Structure 1
Amino acid sequence: MAMNLRLRDDQTEALRRLAQEEGVSMHTLVLRAVDDYLARTAHEARVRQTTREQAARWSELLERLG
């Protein structure tokens, strides 16, 4: 899928500098950032779901420990 990404001038310059330092394209850096974000949010969602499940499982004990 193609899309346009509009960055502020300062963001573009920072991305350009970082891409040059790392020896990759700006496109590659943006894809890495998207992948990192998706992985992080997926992990956070799993943690929230596990927390809910465990809280429900151990609710009686948690109330007694209160």
Structure 2
Amino acid sequence: MTLRLDENETAALRKRAEIEGRSMQDVARDAVRSYIETTSKRDLIDSVLDTELPRYAEALDRLGR
């Protein structure tokens, strides 16, 4: 896989890597892992809410009054 970044993205990645004393590759890989973990959790939560909220809609409505 080849990751193509524009100049500003490359500069920001380079600076972040220098600050952390890590390689640009390590920082980029951590960013990808973090993104996947975050979006996977969000997708799971959305799925559960789509399934469970309708089941409890009436009760939640009464509690909100």
TM-score normalised to structure 1 length: 0.81
- Give SS of 1:6's match: coil
> 1:36 & 1:53 partners in 2: Cα distance?
26
Aligned-pair CA distance for 1:30: 0.6
Shift >3 Å, 4+ stretches: 59-66
Structure 2: stretches of 5+ with no match in the other structure = none
1:47 aligns with 2:13: no
Aligned-pair CA distance for 1:27: 0.3
Aligned-pair CA distance for 1:58: 1.4
Taking only aligned residues, the RMSD between alpha carbons, in angstroms, comes to 1.7
Given residue 32 of structure 1, which amino acid in structure 2 is its aligned partner? D
Given residue 14 of structure 2, which amino acid in structure 1 is its aligned partner? R
Aligned with 1:26 (options 24, 27, 33): 24
TM-score normalised to structure 2 length: 0.82
User: Which one has more relative contact order, counting CA pairs under 8 Å at least 6 apart?
Assistant: 2
Structure 1: stretches of 5+ with no match in the other structure = none
